[in-house]
Amino acid sequence: MIVRLKDVCIKGTSNIRQKDVNESGRYPVYGAAGPVGFMNSFQYDEPYVGVVKDGAGIGRATYLPSNSSIIGTMQALIPKNNVLPKYLYYAVSSMHLEKYYSGATIPHIYFKNYKHERFALVSKKEQEQIIWRFSLLEKMISDKQQQLLKLDELIKARFVEMFGDPISNNFNWNTTKLKNITSKITNGSTPKGGSKNYVNSGVMFLRSQNIWRNHIDSSDVVFISEKTNLKLQKSVLKNNDILITKTGRINTQNSSLGRAALYSGKDNSANINGHVYLIRLKNHNLVLPRFLVTVLTGEAYRKYIRKVCVGGIDKRQINLNQVENFPIILPPVKKQQEFISLIQQVDKSKFENIVYLDKTLSSKILSQIGDVIRD
C-alpha cells in the first residue's frame, strides 16, 4: 500500500536550546551530531525519528530512543500505530529530504514540504523482517566505523612517541609561554541585547557549544549583522585562529571547559562570544597552528586545565592570565609538520571510508528494499 509520510507519523517540535541542557540530568537530549546533554524530563516516551531541520546536516534522519528529547534545530517524526519506528527511520533515510531546503545562509526544511513523500507501507511482519536485515547491515558498518575510530588512538600514541608529555616536558624540548608566541589572546563579547541581535544570515557568531575538541560544530550556529560585527572588532576571526572555550564544566569526557579547535574559514567572516578565547599566533616559525591545537586538546592539557581552572563545582573557567601563561613545548617545526602530515593522511582515510560506508548503507537500502519502501 502506497502512503504519504503524513499518513504514518505526527510532526513534533522542540524549543529546547543548548543552554537548557546540562551534563547531570537523567534523560538525553539529541542534536544534529548526536547527544548534546541531558535534562531531568523528556519530550517523547516512545522511539521516534529525528530529522535535522536547520543548519549543517539538514535532512539527515536519526533513529532516537524512548524517554529522550531533541534540541530546537531538530524535527521529531512520531510514528503512528501503523508503522514501526525503525521502519519509518529507514523509509525517511531513503527520501533525501535535503532537497526540500530553503534559505541561503542557514538552510531550513519544513514538514509541510516533505510530508507528501510517498513510500510503500507493508505489514508489520514484513516491516520486522526488513528491520532485521538492515540491523545486520548496520552492525557490520558500525564495526567498521569502530575500526576507523581506532585511528584516533593511533594519532594520540604517535604524538606521545614523537613529543612526550607537553606538560611535564619529559623530552626536554625548548618551552615558552603562550603569550610569547601570539599576537592576540582575547575573549569575545556578547552584544548588548544578547540573542535579539541574531539574524538569519550575516557573520557567523561562534559560541562555546560550537567549539569541540579539534572541530567546530556549525549545526547550532547563529549569525550577527555586519553592523553588530563592526562593534565587536577585537574578536573578528582570521584563518588559522585557535579557539578555546573559556567557561564550562569539567566532569565528563566531553567537558565543555577548555575545548579547542582551529578556525579554517575566511578572514573576517566569523566572530566569537564572551565564552570563547581567540588565540592568534605571531607567525608559524616556532609553532604550527594545527600542532598547537593538538597539544591543547590532548589528555595532558585536559588534566592541566582541570587543575588550574577556577570557579564553583558546577561551572568553571580559565582566566586570561592563565591562558597567556600556558606552557608550550617548541619541538622543531619540521617535526611538527611531519606529525601534521600523519594527521592529514589519517583524516583523509577516515573521511573516504566514512563516505563509502554512508553510501553503502544508502545503496543497500535502495537496492534491497527500494522497491518496497520507495514508490
DSSP string computed for 54-94:
BSTTTT-EEEE-SSBEE-TTEEEEEE-TTS-HHHHHHHHHT
User: How would you write the pLDDT of the chain (375 residues) with one tens digit per residue?
Assistant: 889 999 999 999 899 987 888 877 899 999 887 888 899 999 999 999 999 998 767 899 999 999 999 999 899 999 999 999 999 999 998 888 988 887 655 678 889 999 999 988 999 999 999 898 888 877 877 777 777 777 888 888 999 999 999 999 999 999 999 999 999 999 998 888 877 888 888 899 999 888 988 888 877 788 999 999 999 999 999 999 999 999 887 765 567 889 999 999 999 999 999 999 999 999 899 999 999 999 999 999 989 998 999 887 667 899 999 999 999 999 999 999 999 999 888 888 777 776 666 666 656 655 554 444 444
pLDDT, tens only, 88-130:
999 998 888 988 887 655 678 889 999 999 988 999 999 999 8
Residue 309 CA to residue 182 CA, distance in Å, equals 21
What is the three-class DSSP state of 282? coil
What is the three-class DSSP state of 43? coil
Quote the pLDDT of residue 338. 95
In contact, 50 and 74? CB cutoff 8 Å: yes
pLDDT, tens only, 316-354:
899 999 999 999 999 999 999 999 999 888 888 777 776
Tell me how many helices (H) and strands (E) the chain has: 8, 24
Q: Distances from the Cα of 237 to the Cαs of 13, 240, 294, 322, in angstroms?
A: 34, 9, 20, 21
Q: Report phi then psi at 347, rounded to 5.
A: -60, -45
Quote the pLDDT of residue 105. 57
pTM greater than 0.85: no
In contact, 268 and 236? CB cutoff 8 Å: yes
Long-range contacts (CB closer than 8 Å, 24 or more residues apart) made by 225-228? 225/197, 225/199, 226/202, 228/191, 228/197, 228/202, 228/203
C-alpha dihedral over 122, 80, 86, 112, to 10 degrees? 100
Q: Distances from the Cα of 360 to the Cαs of 134, 206, 248, in angstroms?
A: 12, 34, 39
Residue 68 CA to residue 302 CA, distance in Å, equals 30
Quote the pLDDT of residue 47. 96
Q: Which domains does the chain have, with CATH numbers?
A: 2-121 (3.90.220.20), 174-330 (3.90.220.20)
Quote the pLDDT of residue 375. 46
* Matching residue, cell 560550537: 210
